[in-house]
Amino acid sequence: MRRAHAINCRAVLFDCDGVLVDSRQAAERAWTVWAHTLNVDPQKVLLGMHGRRSVDTVKLHISERNREPAFALIEATELATAPSTRAIPGGVELFADVHSRAAVVTSATSILANARLAAAGYPAPLVVVSGSDVSTGKPSPQPYLHAAERLRVPIDECVIVEDSPAGVYAARAARPARVIIVGRAVPPRGGDIAVRDLRQVRWAHGALHVFTS
């Protein structure tokens, strides 16, 4: 039997990769190429790159004097893979419905995030908070708090939609009205709601309606 959860909210803050778009294979391919080019162990790179700003991943593996060209390399490599990005099922429809009250909060740069969203068929977001817009990226709540400020909506009247461990940690720490977790990488707890993909989420009458089994 399906259960319906109605969440009254004024804004929806979406992570990008893994929530709105499926870029996992493209991103892992890009980071693997990057690692081999710079003689870094690709397995160590892939282990901690999801949900983390590229600049923070680069810092983990590259000496300070070489970080700027290393960051430029991964940005160019990921941009080259952006056309292969596809939408998460249900994402385009939901995002279109909440477009005027939505923000995209991503650890990627705004250029890369917008390229992936466009390739997947999304309308251009009105608000994008990228990894370069904050001093501390996920798992800090700062990106989500900044997005709520830009939308001029209190964070406790926002719903955050996330998928990665770092992102979910950031979302919970921001203390929104509710956290919706997409996929199975992070088990729900407390007031979290878990969905397979965004086909289980609808917007109607000022509320998100989430259907779970």
pLDDT tens figures, 171-185: 999 999 999 999 999
For 3-22+86-212, CATH number? 3.40.50.1000
Active-site hit among 15, 56, 156, 192: 15
pLDDT at 204 over 70: yes
pLDDT tens figures, 72-115: 999 999 999 999 999 999 999 999 999 999 999 999 999 999 99
| Catalytic-residue membership of 197 | no
Parallel, antiparallel or unpaired: strands 207-212 and 201-204: antiparallel
pLDDT given at position 52: 83
Structure tokens at 70: 């290393």
Instruction: Judge if pTM exceeds 0.75.
Output: yes
Distances (CA, A) of 212 to 5, 40, 199: 8, 42, 11
Distances (CA, A) of 70 to 65, 75, 96, 111, 115: 10, 9, 36, 17, 20
pLDDT tens figures, 39-54: 999 999 998 787 788 9
pLDDT at 2 over 90: no
Half-sphere exposure for 174 (CA within 13 Å, toward CB): 34
**How many other CB atoms are found less than 10 A from the CB of residue 204?**
9
pLDDT at 1 over 80: no
Residue of 172 and 25 predicted with greater confidence: 172
| Catalytic-residue membership of 15 | yes
